[in-house]
Chain A
Amino acid sequence: MDRKTIQDVQEEIISEFEIYDDWMDKYNYIIELSRDLPVIDPKLKVNGNLISGCQSKVWLDADYANGIVTYTADSDAIITKGIVSLLIRVLSNRTPEEILDTDLYFIDRIGLRQNLSPTRSNGLLSMIKQMKLYALAFKTKYGSKREQNE
């Protein structure tokens, strides 16, 4: 099966954003993307899944099946939610190895790096860290399973 690589998806996002010269349109698109977020089960919106930035909250959960990690999330701020949906689009449904090896260069290229600066305290930076931690944990726990299945 032809499966898009993480890089393919990052390039796809970059080209989607290229059509917007104006920051307003860019942010409007992010607001639109916030609706595509695979939303975390409300029952899982608990403190244990909360990634606490100082300003906006992000809840993240991860599942692992057949060697693949899937993420669901939510945020109380819409811009954060939109960016979270992009992160999930790139990193969800991937093997732990793919997730761990990824350099998320698309954020810089679509001009959203400031949203990831630690001073913004919006939880996104910690979210990326948490996504990778989940991948690492699954890799450590189930490490060789996928290889065995294949």
Chain B
Amino acid sequence: MSFDVHKIREDFPILQEKVYGNPLVYLDNGATTQKPMPVIACINDFHRHSNSSIHRGVHYLSEQATEAYEQARITVQEFIRAKHSHEIIFTSGTTASINGVAFSFGERFVHAGDEIIITEMEHHANIVPWQMLCERKNARLKVIPFNDEGILQVDKLEELIQDKTRLIAVMHASNTLATLNPVKQIISLAHRYNIPVLVDGAQSVPHMSVDVQDMDCDFFAFSGHKMYGPTGIGILYGKEKWLDDIPPFQGGGDMVDVVTFEKTTYNQLPYKFEAGTSNYVGAVGLGKAVEYLVTAGINDVADHEHDLLQYAVGRLDNLGYVTLYGRAPQKTSLVTFTLRDIHPYDAGMILDKMGIAVRTGTHCAQPVMRHYGIDGNIRASFAMYNTREEIDALIEGIQKVKTMFGG
């Protein structure tokens, strides 16, 4: 079955909304994606028919809810091709996943004088947790730079690696430059020095086929809401060996084996990392979102979005007054840009009035903005339901901005 964007659009009720009387053109998918009917219905049905706390009750509903939750785990496992379902930990999102690893891995393996390596293009969520760890442990943060094309200088990595390097954290796809980083290459280099690698997959998983075993990453983090699932649910994948080795990041119910006041022993994987009543409705919704992506065909989605990206870049370049940030050969489906002598905020306000939703500002990646000496820019990020017509609308909007503000 071939990919039919118009058919896909029918599944997303919000796309029918009008904004200030204009049809909504939603190009802020890098921030969050809209939800298809199967996901909306699944969450609704779950509350209507299956809601009950998981792993606790002996009763029928609790068993149903637990089964749906564990099924969602398997769905995610198969989607990212993890070896075991207990390597899939439900968290509240990418940020929580990374913070969890920074805390637990840090507690176990990072000591004074040790080093963590990240990249210059990271989202704040993959910078700040490591900085906090370094402060706690008196460790040091090192940074792999990128060049003006937005390409990571992987050749600089080897000289950054020291005996004291404990972990490398890198984003799979950039939320500002769109760059797809050569994570396999980074991981294989790191593994030669026995250094584990955490990959932030928030911007890659919704757009491409991911195989964590083939990639050989040690940790992989992503969010449900950026891949057509609900908010407040995300995934931490970790290799069994690492998840066994590091302590839990939160204590509470469900993550324990035996609790006495003297000592508590922890539950087995994955429950060791899922303290408290987890967001089981979110997990079930995420499972449904994964099914939706699989049915749509992740490779067809990737092709469609690549086409949108090429089209958008071509049209933006043709305008003559647009600066694009990030020219890496391998990119995910987003563009960030500035309009000559026009403040991104002014452009964003006018586009908004035309019903076009873009993001303006630093996109939680201030070091990237600093690299280019700008305070912020405009981002249009595409999802499977976007069309070339919507990119035309964006271009028209930009032309209107240009006539209003000169520049």
Count residues on chain A whose CB falls below 8 Å from chain B CBs: 17
Q: Which of A28, A79, A80 has the most CB of B within 10 A?
A: A79
Contact present for B20 and A23 (CB under 8 Å)? yes
Contact present for A76 and B353 (CB under 8 Å)? no
Q: Is the interface of B mostly helix, strand, loop or mixed?
A: helix
Cα A1 to Cα B361 in complex, Å, equals 47
A115 to chain B: closest residue by CB: B349
Contact present for A122 and B345 (CB under 8 Å)? yes
- Which residues of chain A (55-76) have a CB below 8 Å from chain B? 55-57, 76
Say yes or no: is B350 at the interface (Cβ < 8 Å to chain A). yes
Nearest CB of chain B from residue A35's CB, rounded to whole Å:
12
A122 contact set on B, CB distance < 8 A? 345
A56 to chain B: closest residue by CB: B345
Nearest CB of chain B from residue A95's CB, rounded to whole Å:
33
* Bitwise interface map of A from 25 to 63 toward B, beta carbon under 8 Å scored 1, else 0: 001100100000000000000000000001111000000
Nearest CB of chain B from residue A67's CB, rounded to whole Å:
36
Say yes or no: is A133 at the interface (Cβ < 8 Å to chain B). no
Contact present for A76 and B405 (CB under 8 Å)? no
B362 contact set on A, CB distance < 8 A? 54
- Which residues of chain A (106-150) have a CB below 8 Å from chain B? 115, 121-122
Contact present for A23 and B345 (CB under 8 Å)? no
Contact present for B404 and A77 (CB under 8 Å)? no
Say yes or no: is B317 at the interface (Cβ < 8 Å to chain A). no
A23 contact set on B, CB distance < 8 A? 20, 353
- The listed residue (A24, A31, A54) touching B405 by CB distance below 8 A is A31
Q: Given that A78-B343, A80-B345 are known contacts, is A27 also in contact with B350, CB under 8 Å in the complex? A: yes
- The listed residue (B343, B344, B404) touching A28 by CB distance below 8 A is B404
Contact present for B404 and A56 (CB under 8 Å)? no
- The listed residue (A28, A31, A76, A79) touching B375 by CB distance below 8 A is A76
Cα A80 to Cα B376 in complex, Å, equals 16
* Bitwise interface map of B from 324 to 354 toward A, beta carbon under 8 Å scored 1, else 0: 0000000000000000000111101110010
Contact present for B353 and A27 (CB under 8 Å)? yes
- Which residues of chain B (354-407) have a CB below 8 Å from chain A? 360-362, 375-376, 400, 404-405
Contact present for A77 and B353 (CB under 8 Å)? no
B345 contact set on A, CB distance < 8 A? 55-56, 77, 79-80, 122
Contact present for B343 and A76 (CB under 8 Å)? yes
Cα A129 to Cα B350 in complex, Å, equals 26
A76 to chain B: closest residue by CB: B343
- The listed residue (A24, A57, A121) touching B361 by CB distance below 8 A is A121
Contact present for A79 and B346 (CB under 8 Å)? yes
Count residues on chain B whose CB falls below 8 Å from chain A CBs: 17
A78 to chain B: closest residue by CB: B346
Nearest CB of chain B from residue A107's CB, rounded to whole Å:
15
Contact present for A54 and B346 (CB under 8 Å)? no
A121 to chain B: closest residue by CB: B361
Q: Which of B343, B362, B375, B405 has the most CB of A within 10 A?
A: B343
- Which residues of chain B (308-328) have a CB below 8 Å from chain A? none
Q: Given that A23-B353, A27-B350 are known contacts, is A56 also in contact with B20, CB under 8 Å in the complex? A: no
* Bitwise interface map of A from 69 to 105 toward B, beta carbon under 8 Å scored 1, else 0: 0000000111110000000000000000000000000
Cα A109 to Cα B176 in complex, Å, equals 37
* Bitwise interface map of A from 9 to 23 toward B, beta carbon under 8 Å scored 1, else 0: 000000000000001
- The listed residue (A24, A56, A115, A121) touching B343 by CB distance below 8 A is A56
A76 contact set on B, CB distance < 8 A? 343, 375
Contact present for B20 and A55 (CB under 8 Å)? no
Nearest CB of chain B from residue A12's CB, rounded to whole Å:
24
Contact present for B346 and A77 (CB under 8 Å)? yes
Contact present for B376 and A55 (CB under 8 Å)? yes
B404 contact set on A, CB distance < 8 A? 24, 27-28, 31
Q: Given that A55-B344, A55-B360 are known contacts, is A79 also in contact with B349, CB under 8 Å in the complex? A: yes
Nearest CB of chain B from residue A85's CB, rounded to whole Å:
15
Cα A27 to Cα B361 in complex, Å, equals 21
Q: Which of B346, B353, B400 has the most CB of A within 10 A?
A: B346
A56 contact set on B, CB distance < 8 A? 343, 345
Interface pairs (16), CB distance under 8 Å: A23-B353, A24-B400, A24-B404, A27-B350, A27-B353, A27-B404, A31-B405, A54-B361, A55-B345, A56-B343, A77-B343, A78-B343, A78-B346, A78-B405, A80-B346, A121-B361
- Chain B residues at the A interface, C-beta cutoff of 8 Å: 20, 343-346, 348-350, 353, 360-362, 375-376, 400, 404-405
Name the 8 nearest CB pairs between A and B, nearest first: A77-B343, A77-B345, A56-B345, A55-B345, A55-B361, A77-B346, A79-B346, A78-B346
- Extra A-B contacts (7), CB below 8 Å, given A55-B376, A80-B345: A23-B20, A23-B353, A27-B353, A27-B404, A55-B348, A55-B361, A79-B346
